[in-house]
Structure formats: structure tokens, C-alpha cells
Structure 1
Amino acid sequence: MVNMTLSIPEELHKKMKTHKEIRWSEVARHAIEQRIDDLEVMNRITSKSKLTKKDAEEISKKIKRSAANRFDEYSNRH
């Protein structure tokens, strides 16, 4: 197994030290594995996609507009 060193903020380290029962290397390993799994799923999905970056940006704008409209409608009712 490969060893890896990482830097964390001092405040986070203080909080971690209050939970000595937790194996933080295992927590980090699990988080990294989960992120890799998520990225692999995303890569499989996007590798089959015909969308261009411009298409994706346009869809993103439409979704944001729709969400804003729904929020406005909800706010006006309450």
C-alpha cells in the first residue's frame, strides 16, 4: 500500500484529536474511494454524451432560470 501525506488546517486537526477512537486514515481512504467511484460514473456517462460544453452551459442556464422562477412563485405564495 502506498503512503500519502496531506496537510490540514490546525483547527481541523484539533477537532480530530478529540476523537482518538476514529481511524482518520480509514475515513480519508473511504472518502477518496467514494470520490473516485463518483468520477468513474461521471466519466462513463459523459463519454457517451454528444453534448458540447456550450450545450451544457445552455442547459445549466435553463435549469437555473427555472429554479429561480419556482423560488419566486413559492415566495409570492407565502
Structure 2
Amino acid sequence: MVNVTLAIPEELHAKMRKHSEIRWSEVIRKTISEKVDHLDMLDRLSAKSKLTKRDVELLAKNIDGEVAKKLGLK
């Protein structure tokens, strides 16, 4: 497995330390994996579509925004 180093603000680090029971490397690993899966899906959709990749990204962003609104997250 490859190691990745990242910088986070001290304030965020302080909040993370309050939850030492969380395996933060696993949270980050999962988040990166989900993002890569999402990008792979966009690549597959755009390869079969007449829409441009940018069109697909905008559509996905709009859908995500509407879902967030319905869930009260936005």
C-alpha cells in the first residue's frame, strides 16, 4: 500500500483528536475510494453519451444539490 501525507488545519486536527476512537486514515481511504469510483462512473457515462464530460459533471452536481436540499443538508 502507498502512503499519502496531507496537511490539515490545526483547528480540524484538534476536532479530530476529540474523536480518537475514529480510524481517520480509514475514513480518508474510504472517501478517496468513493471519489475515484464516482469519477470512473462519470467516465463510463460520458463514453457512451453524446453529452460532454462537463455536461455529465454539471448534471451530477445539480442532482447531488437537489438531493442534499431534500435531505435538509443544504
Which TM-score band (shorter chain)? 0.5 to 0.7
- Runs (4+) of structure 1 moved beyond 2 Å? none
- Match status 1:20 vs 2:20: yes
- Bigger-Rg structure (1/2): 1
CA RMSD across the alignment: 2.0
Greater helix share, structure number: 1
Letter of the 2:43 counterpart: N
- Match status 1:37 vs 2:68: no
5+ long unaligned stretches in structure 2: 63-74
What is the TM-score with the length of structure 1 in the denominator? 0.64
Identical amino acids, percent of aligned pairs: 57
